[in-house]
Amino acid sequence: MGADACLNMVFYRYGSICEPDMIDAFKSAGLKVFEIDEEIKNKEILPSRQVELVDREIRRHGPLFVFSINFFPALAEICSIHGTFYLCQTVDSPVNQLFSRSITKKTNRIFLFDKGQYRRFHGYNEGRIFHLPLSANVERYDRVISSIGEEDRKKYSNDIAFVGSLYSEKNDLNKATDISPYTKGYIDGLINSQKSVYGAFFIEDALNDRVIKELKEIFPELFRFDKAIEETDSYIAANSLIAPGIAERERVETLNMLAKSFKVTLYTRSDRGELSGVDVRGGVSTHLEMPKIFNLSKINLNMTVRSIESGLPLRIFDIMACGGFVITNYQEELSEHFEVGKEVEMYSDPLELKEKCDYYLRHDEERRKIAQRGYEKVKNEHSCKKRVKDMIERVVSDI
């Protein structure tokens, strides 16, 4: 290992929108970043090829650690063989790969953004799995916001805006044409019940063997998980199948409800489905257009998919990092990181959301002050640079 080898790292990429910001943060921390990006171009890449690529880079550069967004069992395995630290940070939930036995490797340092994830998995590798909230690249957003011109203000200003998927394309239950009336009715009942409950996800515990058995027969590939660390059927059924169904129904109903009283703009690549009265404008560029929408919209909505049990999705941090005002559904961790009513706003049911939208559309100055305080909080305490520093310190302390 050369004199500068301790400053090397390998970044395994698959195309997550978070990757460029984390790369910038690692470079700012003084690390030389060697990227592996084959999976961005080849989504059918096999674990054996992942191992081959990472093995080659470890041998070339002798890195302090290998890093990825979300957890890759193959990377954990090859890093363990080399005795090289493998760091990853989840940005999604579910991440079904966390059920792999590879999670137990001593070289892992796994950072989970959702305490629900953490509570489930940390016992499988005590002292090597941590809770770490998400973050935003405020400096990059500052550059985009500073470029806003008059044409942008005309194009991207909104009363209430939602940027994101309606989950129609992610809801595999829509494709289940042969689902039985019993299972369809059972799932519909669960979805309707869960929609009215914030802060607790009870679907996994409410599923019965008959429903799970049928879902496994309809979606065999989804449930095929070799050498899992625990039984996964109920988790996959609840989080990978039913949670997207809840998200689709909840988002459509919420937008339709608000559109009856306010001007609501939706930016999405999803099919508009059952929307009524909503101004649908199609998808936008994540790095160039989305920040302007967040900054220029009076109210930005966040609706967290229910498979995120307690944590805060990236969307909340991004909106606040752009100086935008956000109203989000209740999440357990919200008040741990932000002052509700001073830096961010929250709702616990559709009626409260409607009332708060009405209030903040009529109180511009109060809304602007909340957005500014939220921006300052993310800039000072929830930057990508700070998160990278936290992760690196965990590695250095174990050397």
State whether 335 and 392 are in the same domain. Answer: no
State whether 108 and 180 are in the same domain. Answer: no
State whether 85 and 67 are in the same domain. Answer: yes
State whether 344 and 392 are in the same domain. Answer: no
Residues 320, 136 contacting (CB under 8 angstroms): yes
For residue 5, the model assigns a pLDDT of: 46
State whether 149 and 245 are in the same domain. Answer: yes
State whether 115 and 150 are in the same domain. Answer: no
Q: What is the dihedral of CA 294, 296, 297, 303, to 10 degrees?
A: 0
State whether 101 and 142 are in the same domain. Answer: no
User: Any idea what the CATH number is for the domain that residue 122 is in?
Assistant: 3.40.50.280
**Per-block average pLDDT, block size 10, for the chain (399 residues)?**
64 97 97 98 96 98 97 98 98 96 98 97 98 98 98 98 95 92 96 91 96 96 89 96 96 98 97 91 95 98 97 98 98 97 97 98 98 98 97 88
Residue 50's domain spans which residues?
5-135+384-396
Record the pTM: 0.95
For residue 177, the model assigns a pLDDT of: 87
Residues 345, 363 contacting (CB under 8 angstroms): no
For residue 1, the model assigns a pLDDT of: 36
For residue 6, the model assigns a pLDDT of: 56
Write out the DSSP string of 88-141: EE--SS--GGGGBGGGG-TTEEEEES-HHHHHHHGGGGTTTEEE----B-HHHH
For 363, residues 6+ apart whose C-beta sits below 8 A from its C-beta are none
- The one-letter amino acid at 79: C
- How far is residue 376's CA from residue 198's CA, in Å, rounded to a whole number? 27
Structural domain tally of the chain?
2
State whether 252 and 298 are in the same domain. Answer: yes
State whether 142 and 117 are in the same domain. Answer: no
State whether 40 and 145 are in the same domain. Answer: no
